[in-house]
Structure 1
Amino acid sequence: MIAFDPTPEQDALRARIETFVMDKIAPYEKDPRNTAHGPTEELRIELNGLARDAGLFTPHVPERWGGMGLDHVSMAIAFEACGLSPLGPIAMHCAAPDEGNMNLLDKVATEAQKERWLKPFAAGDFRSCFSMTEPWGAGADPSAMKTKARYDGDDFVVNGIKWLITGAKGAGFTIIFCDVEADGDKPGGPTMLISDMDAPGIELSRELDTLDSSFTNGHWEVTFNDLRIPAQNVLGEVGEGFRYVQVRLAPARLTHCMRWLGGTVRAQRIALDYARKREAFGKPIGRHGEIGAMLAENEMELQQCRLMVWWACALLDKGEHGRHESSMVKTSVSEALFRVADRCVQVLGGMGVTGDTVVEQIFRETRAFRIYDGPSEVHKWAISRRIMKNG
């Protein structure tokens, strides 16, 4: 039996985070350091300090590494509250790609790797990036990966280009998804390697102008040119990369849903407030049937999204959740949240397409969400393959 009523402790956590985000973090949305390419490193560090002082840093990280150690349902509630501002996840150090990388390191890394990277990473000493997507190769289809690694003594030498690498500028390290070439009795196949970002052979080739603007230092194209990585920096085992991708991506799809759910809740609140105050044809616009219906549809879809996320998180906490459930939730929620954000823009009218409210940014962010972590069409294809097999 899955209960959908938050506990008193979860309600208190939600209220605490919501108050923190709206009172302390949301005012920074107009800070000049919050740029078209996301918040700067300086702003990120300042916001981290506020969250740390409030005792709301890394809610997803096990207590062993200094986090709050929340279960997945509690995380869903906390992440929705922190997502009320695009800067909330940055402040609480639970934004992508960092949150997913922390989870991956905690589950797959060796103890030495955890001490070397996870411990200072979880403390906020630096950020990370995840180098998987390629301009003409791996992305929605990781099997098309063109980035290669070859053996050279006790090292791997990596060559290739990655693209849309979130937060690459200023990151402390990266996890690289590449194809290792087998050599004699040495195994090959899809593999994850860890490298410091200041290592020789890593070049930030190009900063990308993108629709969204909520990730620290934006998105980059990264070139690996004879990047040398020691064998002890293999994450997990050589050839097991596809398995570890699912370890990372299945829960990360859900945390994306949690954060952007918070954003669209904020957009709905702004639209509701506007609809109560703005008058047209003799009454508040929310009293007109067309506008009222859009706001009602938003309320229904927001609650449906919340219940889907909580359902998937409850399964995760029971150890029963897999990538197919996360595909269904990510697809349904991303499409629904975009509809909600779109209606909020429409309710606001001319104001909705300006930067006078955060709704314009939330609309852009939710549009990008339909592509990140797998476009809806790829998830639907994967779901259809599964259900066709079960017939």
Structure 2
Amino acid sequence: MNEIEQKYAISPYVMEIRDKVRRFIDEKVIPVETVIEKGEQDGRQVLKELQAKAKEEGIWALGLPKEIGGGGMKFMDYVYINEVIGRSEAAMFALGTHTAQDGTMLNLFGTEEQKKRWLYPMVNGEINPSVGLTEPNVAGSDPTLIQSTAYLDGDEWVINAHKWFTTGANRAAFTTLFCVTEPDEPNRHKRASMIIVPTNTPGYEIVRVVPTMGHTSGGHCEIRLTNVRVPKENLLGARGEGFVIAQKRLGPGRIYHCMRWLGQSQRAFDLMCHRALNRYAHGSLLSEKQMIQKFIADSATEIQSARLMTLEAARKIDRGEDARIDIAMIKVYGAKVLHDVIDRAIQVHGALGVTADTPLEKMYREARYARIYDGPDEAHTATIARRILRKYQQEESWDPANF
């Protein structure tokens, strides 16, 4: 085994779990994913049954720590699992991975009381979370512009906020809200805090589920909080620590996305290859045409490149190293690969590719969001450049192996 193979080797145990998860998704989740995605009563019942089966089979919440009810897998091992889960959006909910970002955040910063009330039931699949970061009137990529406010009145926080893309708020038990609590703080990055707000609190209003790309199935909610009051104990972490907490949530969240994008890309790739081998046109199968062969070769190369970049970022996280540059790189590159592979798959399918008869048209819509959420490409690209140039300003050079 050479150095590269040793570096990214997958253990027999992880491979066994990976195969088990793959079978569960292909055999149990994908056949009913459209029912689940509609969000109706039948779909909710199907999802509950799948969640119970996932727990029985020992494949529930594998990427979260054992002490909060997860599987305790290391980041690098979890890449191999989460890329398979990424094959189906419904699989995230069926296997309890949709709470990974909020679970990480609450586990790191929550009080024991907060964990009992919110974290443990959430990881167990009893309640759903949501987070209120983005606002319609300011740039989401610059959290120092946030306009939502909260102030203490006795033993209660009084909150006024207008958020959107508070994904899942329409089915969530609570929203962790990012709002300004220290308006006079000179350091703009220490003005905001995180406060847990139950969604049934008086004054909490779901204005609408925002239509995106012609659909509302994503549950991207616009919410408004008017003089909402919650106990001061609902503060998550310390006052003025909201920016730090958000980054601790978003950092792992970005790589979770990249893991799942590998699965989405691979599923689109599988569909493209099957289509190419079975569709006849202009005297031969599509698979015999050089243009289609290039689609397949380019896609395979890009997926594998993204996989190795994701594994390297995960390896650094497991070793406690600074992985910010690696995460920024894979967030930008992974989103591009996701889009391009799905786009080629649609092209190979022709008219069929833009219908709901295959999952490709939904995957394509979701892929476009990838370049925006959890930080737009432009912000991550600027971060990459700044951090690399800093090395040269210090009369050093950028070494990809040790950066």
TM-score (normalised: structure 1):
0.93
SS in 2 for 1:60: coil
CA 213–11 in structure 1, closer or farther in 2 if over 3 Å, else same: farther
SS in 1 for 2:169: coil
Q: Identity rate of aligned residues, in percent? A: 34
Instruction: Tell me the residue number matched to 1:62.
Output: 65
Q: Tell me how far apart the structure 2 counterparts of residues 322 and 142 of structure 1 sit (CA, whole Å).
A: 21
1:36 Cα shift? Answer: 8.8
Instruction: Tell me the residue number matched to 2:81.
Output: 78
Instruction: Tell me the residue number matched to 1:12.
Output: 16
CA 34–92 in structure 1, closer or farther in 2 if over 3 Å, else same: same
AA paired with 1:177? F
Q: Tell me how far apart the structure 2 counterparts of residues 44 and 74 of structure 1 sit (CA, whole Å).
A: 26
1:312 Cα shift? Answer: 0.3
CA 164–338 in structure 1, closer or farther in 2 if over 3 Å, else same: same
Q: Tell me how far apart the structure 2 counterparts of residues 210 and 88 of structure 1 sit (CA, whole Å).
A: 21
Instruction: Tell me the residue number matched to 1:24.
Output: 28
1:162 Cα shift? Answer: 0.6
TM-score (normalised: structure 2):
0.90
The number of aligned residues is: 383
Q: Tell me how far apart the structure 1 counterparts of residues 266 and 215 of structure 2 sit (CA, whole Å).
A: 18
SS in 1 for 2:202: coil
CA 219–44 in structure 1, closer or farther in 2 if over 3 Å, else same: farther
Cα-to-partner distance string for 1:52-74 (whole Å, 9 max, x where unaligned): 23321111221122211111011
Instruction: Tell me the residue number matched to 1:192.
Output: 194
Q: Bigger shift: 315-324 or 303-312?
A: 315-324
Instruction: Tell me the residue number matched to 2:135.
Output: 134
Instruction: Tell me the residue number matched to 1:361.
Output: 362
- Which ranges of structure 2 fall in alignment gaps of 5 or more residues? 393-403
CA 244–286 in structure 1, closer or farther in 2 if over 3 Å, else same: same
Instruction: Tell me the residue number matched to 2:335.
Output: 334
Q: Tell me how far apart the structure 2 counterparts of residues 46 and 55 of structure 1 sit (CA, whole Å).
A: 14
Cα-to-partner distance string for 1:149-201 (whole Å, 9 max, x where unaligned): 112112211101010110000201111111004699xxx72100112111112
Q: Tell me how far apart the structure 2 counterparts of residues 154 and 62 of structure 1 sit (CA, whole Å).
A: 33
AA paired with 2:196? I
Q: Structure 2 matches for 1:87-166, cutoff 5 A?
A: 87-95=90-98, 98-137=99-138, 139-166=140-167
* Correspondent of 1:202 among 201, 204, 211: 204
Q: Tell me how far apart the structure 2 counterparts of residues 179 and 43 of structure 1 sit (CA, whole Å).
A: 40
CA 194–55 in structure 1, closer or farther in 2 if over 3 Å, else same: same
AA paired with 1:238? R
Q: Is the 8 A contact 1:212 1:364 kept in 2?
A: no
Q: Tell me how far apart the structure 2 counterparts of residues 262 and 118 of structure 1 sit (CA, whole Å).
A: 27
Q: Is the 8 A contact 2:22 2:84 kept in 1?
A: yes
Cα-to-partner distance string for 1:334-375 (whole Å, 9 max, x where unaligned): 112111111111111111111111122111111111111111
Q: Bigger shift: 269-278 or 362-371?
A: 362-371
SS in 2 for 1:165: strand
Q: Which has the higher contact order (CA 8 A, sep 6+)?
A: 1
- Which ranges of structure 1 fall in alignment gaps of 5 or more residues? none
Q: Is the 8 A contact 1:132 1:138 kept in 2?
A: no
Root-mean-square deviation (Å): 2.1
